[in-house]
Structure 1
Amino acid sequence: MNSFLLWFAPFLIIFICSLSLFILDGNKAKEEGRKRKTWITVLFIISFGLMMTAIVLSVLLLLLTIAIVQNM
């Protein structure tokens, strides 16, 4: 479990940072009456995709491990 957290932590940290940038820029843009900056939206989408990919791959690895152990 500890190694999983070490492997997953960078994806989670990048996602949390981009989410906070996304929210802060949205609030600031609303105050100034402008649209969100495009690069912040793109960063948020890419980091969300990377995190979801990491989650899906870890679940598939877990299922593969269970299948291998049951076939022994």
Structure 2
Amino acid sequence: MTQPNWQKSSFSSGGEGNCVELTASAPTHLHLRESDRPDEIATATPRALAHFLRALKSDSLSVRRH
């Protein structure tokens, strides 16, 4: 089995143990992890990840209190 080629986010601080990393195992599977917790990996499709990132940027995931 080939080792994944993890790439650090350009928004990461650059310090050890404080980076978001991304790799792909196929065109339909993206994997994310935090470098200080390399065994905890989230997997998503490119479309699902794009929707999630858009929601984060628009702040539509925040808890709304009435």
Q: TM-score, normalised to structure 1's length?
A: 0.28
- Higher strand content, 1 or 2: 2
- Higher helix content, 1 or 2: 1
